[in-house]
Amino acid sequence: MPSEYDHYKDIPPLPAKITEKKRRPKLVAVVDEDNCTGCLACVPFCPVDCIATVPKEKYGISLPPVQIKFNECIGCQICARVCTKLTWDAIEMLPTEEFEKKYRIELTETKTPPYGIPKDPASSQLG
């Protein structure tokens, strides 16, 4: 009798407790809002609770996509694995240097609200 394939084996257990970022990550999670279904499957798996829903007012839809609080992300890749395995594959991991250049945000060693430090005053308003 063939053994059953466990397609959930790469899904980690839910975190026992929520922690905080202690160092600058090598990778940062980024949500493709056009691909995100707003299912929230990734939210309970985040060990630092840095995933939140986009405010409903932004798009005027009942199930808005999620967003990453970038300066709280530890780059663990759990959200991306969960999204790929359980839902849709809407989260990608970017190297921190590439993320900072693309979004003009400098990530710090520790959490600083709300999402990071703009690299220059002109970049404080991200689209």
CB 93 within 8 A of CB 64: no
pLDDT number for residue 22? 87
Q: What is the pLDDT of residues 66-95, one digit of tens each?
A: 999 998 999 999 999 999 998 889 999 999
pLDDT number for residue 10? 75
Element (H, E) at 66: strand 66-68
User: What is the average pLDDT across 95-118?
Assistant: 79
Calculate ∠ Cα 5-10-82, nearest 5°: 120
Residue 36 CB-density burial (10 A; 0-12 exposed, 13-18 middle, 19+ buried): buried
pLDDT number for residue 118? 57
Q: What is the pLDDT of residues 17-54, one digit of tens each?
A: 998 888 899 999 999 999 999 999 999 999 999 999 99
CATH architecture of the domain with range 27-119: 2-Layer Sandwich (3.30)
Reference 71, options 111, 99, 25; nearest CA is 111
- The H-assigned helical ranges of the chain are 56-59, 78-86, 96-103
Model confidence, pTM: 0.78
Tell me the pairing of strands 91-95 and 105-106.
unpaired
Please state the domain extents for the chain. Answer: 27-119
Q: Give 67 or 120, the one with higher predicted confidence.
A: 67
